[in-house]
Amino acid sequence: MLDFIQILLSNFTSLNKTALETLKTILYFSIFKYPLKKEEIHSYTNHIDMAQTEAELQSLVADKILMQVDDFYVYGSDLDCVPRRLKGNVMAQKAIVIAQRKAALIAKFPFVEAVGISGSLSKGYYDKDSDIDFFVVTRPNKLWICRTFLILYKKIFLLNSRKYFCVNYFISSAQLKISEQNRFTATEIKTLIPLQGDITFAKFYAENNWVNDYFQSFRPDLKQVARIKKPYFTAVLELLLNNFVGHGIDYIFRCLTLFRWHAKFDYLADEDFRVALKSTKNVSKHHPSNFQKKVLLSLNAKLEEVRLKFNLALPKEHV
């Protein structure tokens, strides 16, 4: 009899943990006031069977941990998040057309190997306060030259406006694997919209298959990703700088940028600076607000809230 009870408790605990993983997905997106549909929630789990996700959602609604508003599942009392999302989805359809044109332009710059959309637009949301964020992969040893050309273009021709041209994350194809592996970066990779550079993106996703530890059903579709063709002028410039002179210029641009950032963001702790403004040979991030850390801290705060209100203990995320 005792063994039977232990088995029941074991099964209950196992089910409870998986249900909590479903809840964690909804909590994560609630930080952005972005409610999800059943199919979307399922895609952010390790469940193979949709019925398992449906059962967990029904249980969470029955226990009044979640509310169902039309097709959306909402945590908390912010019911305005549903019309907000719907409006943002409509605006995103227009913004994505602009983003595709900008991505094609970025792909023409020297040493660009791939371009994708990240940030809120990659998740299908855009509003009057949004930027269009681009994720750029460059040729090895040329990241900082590429970045400098793009920043100069933004400053000179776009009057430093980042509204439709926010290039704040670069990696080189020599280091495609993202070093910070957590729910935030996994979500960003899953939602990334690759637009230019099909071959490089195929390698990128292969290097970052750790995302499947979070979302088992993640299968990127590269059929619509364009292959980059460089204009004549760009090809000539790449040829001229594809030597030790180009390597030296790249190193100088990196040092100058890093010196400026250290002076401008001297209020950041060293650890925060290394993550939010990573400036290595193969990575350049310009996230002075350390958005990744803020999101994970916010998620952990929601996990603690759920523990106190509903006596449900979810493992916290590493920040």
Rounded CA separation 302/30 (Å): 9
- Name the residue among 225, 219, 224, 223 with its Cα closest to residue 205: 219
- Name the residue among 224, 222, 113, 218 with its Cα closest to residue 171: 113
Average pLDDT on 186-202 reads 97
How high is the pLDDT of residue 318? 83
How high is the pLDDT of residue 13? 40
How high is the pLDDT of residue 104? 98
| pLDDT tens column, 160-181 | 999 999 999 999 999 999 999 9
pLDDT at residue 127 is higher than 80 = yes
Question: Who's near 314: CB < 8 A, 6+ residues apart?
Answer: 20, 21, 23, 24, 303, 306, 307
Q: Which two tokens stand for residue 119?
A: 């940030």
Q: Which two tokens stand for residue 97?
A: 């057309």
Confidence at 319, pLDDT banded by 50, 70, 90: confident
How high is the pLDDT of residue 19? 53
Spell out the domains of the chain, with CATH numbers in brackets: 14-79+302-310 (1.10.10.10), 98-288 (no CATH)
Confidence at 20, pLDDT banded by 50, 70, 90: confident
pLDDT at residue 289 is higher than 80 = yes
- Name the residue among 167, 213, 168, 174 with its Cα closest to residue 190: 213
Confidence at 10, pLDDT banded by 50, 70, 90: very low
Question: Who's near 130: CB < 8 A, 6+ residues apart?
Answer: 95, 119, 120, 121
pLDDT at residue 35 is higher than 70 = yes
Q: Is the pTM of this model over 0.75?
A: yes
Average pLDDT on 92-117 reads 98
